[in-house]
């Protein structure tokens, strides 16, 4: 059973829904975290999320090399990847080009398409056009990455104010290559 893509804005309920899917799977769970504790607030947020997860879940920290993290998991595990937003941000911060990030996304999707799990990402294309070049580049790259993942996900779900809106299956997605 391929993965589900969970999209939404900040504090929309994405992570809670991802954890619910993982618990309901009944399988062993591996949580792949992409966030880095670069300041005190983020360190506290990461610690809070870690403390909230079931103790039996394995956690892999993968701020940059998501493919290796996915490959290192047991094939029968339910994977939670949280989140593509921070992964893309981390890669851009390290100087990766949009094309490199797109190739990396396709590689990760290829690996995830043979596994069961959920991938979390922010939907950043619903707001105003960002005022600066870096913010526009981030929005564009994340939008392209989300499209790559949606193209192979068994289903995509948009979270809004804690409510889940089913966006359909992979066959209903226009691919962006």
Convert the pLDDT of each residue in 45-59 to its tens digit: 888 888 889 999 999
Annotated catalytic residue 1: no
**Which residue from 112, 108, 63 is spatially nearest to 100, judged by alpha carbons?**
108
Q: Under DSSP, is residue 143 helix (H, G, I), strand (E, B) or coil?
A: helix
The whole-model pTM stands at 0.91
pLDDT band at 99 (very low <50, low <70, confident <90, very high): very high
Tokens for 27, please give them: 């399988």
pLDDT band at 133 (very low <50, low <70, confident <90, very high): very high
**Cα–Cα distance for residue pair 66/166, rounded to 1 Å:** 26
Residue 164 and residue 118 in contact, taking contact as beta carbons nearer than 8 Å: no
pLDDT at 69 over 70: yes
- The CATH code for residues 4-170 is 3.40.50.300
Task: Look at 2 and 157; give whichever has higher pLDDT.
Answer: 157
φ and ψ of 58, to 5 deg: -85, 140
CA angle (55, 116, 23) in 5-degree steps: 35
pLDDT at 144 over 80: yes
Segments in 26-160 forming alpha helices (H): 40-52, 66-71, 84-93, 98-112, 133-152
Convert the pLDDT of each residue in 81-98 to its tens digit: 999 999 999 999 999 999
Considering the candidates 49, 96, 106, 139, report the single residue annotated as catalytic.
49
């Amino acid at each position: 059973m391929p993965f589900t893509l969970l999209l939404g804005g900040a504090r929309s309920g994405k992570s809670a829904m991802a954890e619910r899917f993982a618990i309901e799977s009944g399988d062993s769970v591996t949580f792949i975290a992409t966030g880095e504790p670069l300041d005190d607030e983020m360190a506290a947020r990461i610690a809070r999320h870690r403390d909230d997860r079931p103790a039996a879940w394995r956690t892999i920290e993968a701020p940059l090399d998501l493919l290796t993290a996915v490959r290192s998991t047991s094939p029968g595990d339910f994977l939670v990847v949280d989140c593509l937003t921070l992964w893309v941000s981390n890669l851009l911060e390290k100087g990766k080009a949009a094309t490199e990030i797109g190739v990396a996304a396709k590689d990760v999707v290829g690996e995830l398409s043979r596994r069961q799990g959920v991938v979390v990402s922010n939907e950043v294309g619903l707001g105003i056009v960002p005022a600066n070049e870096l913010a526009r580049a981030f929005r564009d790259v994340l939008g392209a990455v989300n499209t790559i993942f949606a193209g192979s996900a068994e289903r995509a779900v948009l979270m809004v104010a804690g409510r889940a809106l089913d966006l359909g299956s992979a066959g209903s997605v226009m691919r962006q290559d």
